[in-house]
Copies of this chain bind each other. A is one copy, B any other.
Amino acid sequence: MDKSEKLILAVDLGGTKMRAALVKGNGEILQVINRKTSAEKGVKDLLDRLVNSLNEILAQNNIDRGVIDSISIAIAGAVDVNRGVLTASPNLSGWVNIPLKQIINDTTGIKTHIENDVNAAAIGEYYFGNAGNVKHFVFIAVGTGIGGGIFIDGKLYGGFDGSAGEIGHMIIKENGPKCGCGNRGCLEALCSGTAIEREIRTLIRKKNLAKWVDFNENNIELITARDVGEAAQNGDELAKKVIDKAAYYLGIGMGNIINIVNPQMIISGGGVSRMGDILIKPAIETALNIAFELPGNTVRMVPSSLGHNAGILGAAALAHYNS
């Protein structure tokens, strides 16, 4: 069968949302079902809802399960791909050493792939995004946290244990802000969505800025990185300062990666990166300033083109990558 004619059930299983979709092999998304993840209800409950969503898609589209190439799940957690086990997830409490691949496969009778969501997103860029035909690239996901995927010679580089690519936990500022991982000054602690939100809240408190408080119903905890990006876009000085600083650190991280990895392309994706030029443009400028001449001249710095469907397309891409 033509690869583009495959039918894939793709699942983007995040900490708050679960999106199940029917995707064609060429990346065309035919249907999406959105559910809350509600991890607190337990593993079994979530697995039931996941399988129900998939069955719903099959029923609604009048598709026999025999026609489905595979179920491909991208999940926010650490995945042992060889064993098909979700080993741990900070976003899905209680999900420790879940043999997800086998469970879904046994329950549905359909071949199943699972992968960490950032790795899947990198694979998605390779099959459906800007990295088409680019064999050496680095994907940087800037969202709540910062993740990375390094592609070498058309394969996701896992290192010796499959744990390589933790770009977000490269320390670039000694004694910097505390990171969720326990270290200080990681890239993630300096330019993720969480870092941007922490930074603006600190500044608002310090300067007692009523405007920002009003803007968010008197609760600065409600301010999101997206709010900050929009405010910066609209000329707010404080927001601009926070975004510039985040961009500077992101640029250092990208520059380091250029000098260490010498990729053909760096793709920035993830929710926070979608605020666009205001963050990414100065980051790229800093990165290319840092980069040595040869790798700096080579590397193309591009945004992800997959937008809000990056998660689903990342999952769907697993069907190609693993075939």
Q: Footprint of B on A, CB under 8 Å?
A: 136, 148, 150, 152, 157-167, 169-174, 181, 183, 248-249, 252, 255-256, 259-264, 289-290, 292, 294-295, 298
Contact = CB atoms under 8 A, between A and B. Distances in A.
Given A164-B260, A262-B159, A298-B160, A173 B170 contact: no
Contacts of A261: 159, 164
A262 B158 contact: yes
A181 B260 contact: no
- Between A150, A165, A174, A264, the greatest number of chain B beta carbons within 10 A of the residue's beta carbon is seen for A174
29 contacts: A136-B159, A136-B160, A152-B157, A158-B262, A159-B263, A160-B263, A160-B264, A161-B262, A161-B294, A163-B292, A163-B295, A164-B261, A164-B295, A166-B259, A166-B260, A166-B295, A169-B256, A169-B292, A170-B256, A170-B260, A171-B172, A172-B172, A172-B173, A173-B174, A174-B248, A174-B252, A183-B289, A183-B290, A260-B260
A160 B298 CA distance: 8
Contacts of A248: 174
A156 to B, nearest CB: 12
Contacts of A166: 259-260, 292, 295
- Between A166, A249, A252, the greatest number of chain B beta carbons within 10 A of the residue's beta carbon is seen for A166
A135 to B, nearest CB: 8
Contacts of A259: 166, 169-170
A171 B294 contact: no
Nearest to A173: B174
A162 B292 CA distance: 12
Nearest to A295: B163
B171 A262 contact: no
Nearest to A299: B160
Contact of A295 (B161, B252, B264): B161
Contacts of A249: 174
Contacts of A157: 152
Given A159-B262, A164-B295, 18 more contacts: A136-B159, A136-B160, A148-B260, A160-B262, A160-B263, A162-B262, A163-B262, A163-B292, A163-B295, A164-B262, A166-B260, A169-B292, A170-B256, A170-B260, A172-B173, A172-B174, A173-B173, A260-B260
- Between A160, A183, A294, the greatest number of chain B beta carbons within 10 A of the residue's beta carbon is seen for A160
A259 B150 CA distance: 12
- Between A166, A167, A183, A260, the greatest number of chain B beta carbons within 10 A of the residue's beta carbon is seen for A260
Contact of A171 (B152, B160, B161, B252): B252
